[in-house]
Amino acid sequence: MCKRLPLRRFGGEGLKGVQDVIKILGNDEYAKKAVELLLKYSKEGFIPRNEVDGELLLFFDYFKLALPLNAINNSLSWNLRLIQADKLEIPYVVRFFFERLKRGEADWREVIKNYFKSIGESKPEDFVYIYKEMVKASKNLIICAKDVVEISMRWNRDGGVVIAEMKGAGLISPFMGCGKIGKAGAPLYEVNRFFANLVLNDLNYPYETS
């Protein structure tokens, strides 16, 4: 479970439905079970811990599809979540994606746009392009806050607001425990691996998971 399959690509047509999502997650039993549970619990937003064994827990964590509800000091950081929690929390943007997938649709752009529309953002489609740029600017799925601010400014957005709303969506998380900080002392953020894979699949961008 420490090393996943490389990103699978589907040409210029993007993902079409459940089977394509399973394929992009590795096309194995863990991928099938994960998708089954996410479809079942996406509306509720939480997966009971007793539905998830240890290997599947690692799978969910790897792709940032669902994470233990409780965290050390109530941190938003994904890597400080406590595995003893009684349920797993599905990030909001992942919930939106799998609710849409129930209707046979799998367009990450529409998911991001609809999420930011739901929280009252004007021109929510801007966040599709902002996130795409963030994924491309990240190194091993880690991006510096300074880079996020610079990207946000290109879209006439406040970087601090963008970071806060991206965290709330579950598209990024504060990155803790790396032992170093980013440019000019700026914090680092981890990009959601599942959504990064969706973005990079559409871009046909060279990328391998570690």
In single-letter form, the type of residue at position 63 comes to F
Contacts with 128 (C-beta within 8 Å, 6 or more apart), sequence order: 109, 112, 113
Residue 176 binned pLDDT confidence (cut-offs 50, 70, 90): low
Instruction: Output the pTM of the full model.
Output: 0.81
Confidence check: pLDDT of 191 > 80: yes
How far apart are the two ends of the chain, measured CA to CA in Å? 11
Q: What is the mean pLDDT of residues 142-163?
A: 95
Q: List all residues 6 or more positions away from 209 whose beta carbon is below 8 Å from its beta carbon.
A: 3, 4, 5, 6, 7, 193, 197
CA-CA distances (angstroms) from residue 29 to 23, 34, 130, 153? 11, 8, 33, 43
Summarize pLDDT for 5-24 with one digit per residue, the tens: 333 443 334 456 888 899 88
Q: Which DSSP helix (H) or strand (E) runs through 89?
A: strand 87-89
pLDDT digits over 71-129, tens only? 544 544 545 444 555 789 999 999 999 999 998 887 899 999 999 999 999 999 999 99
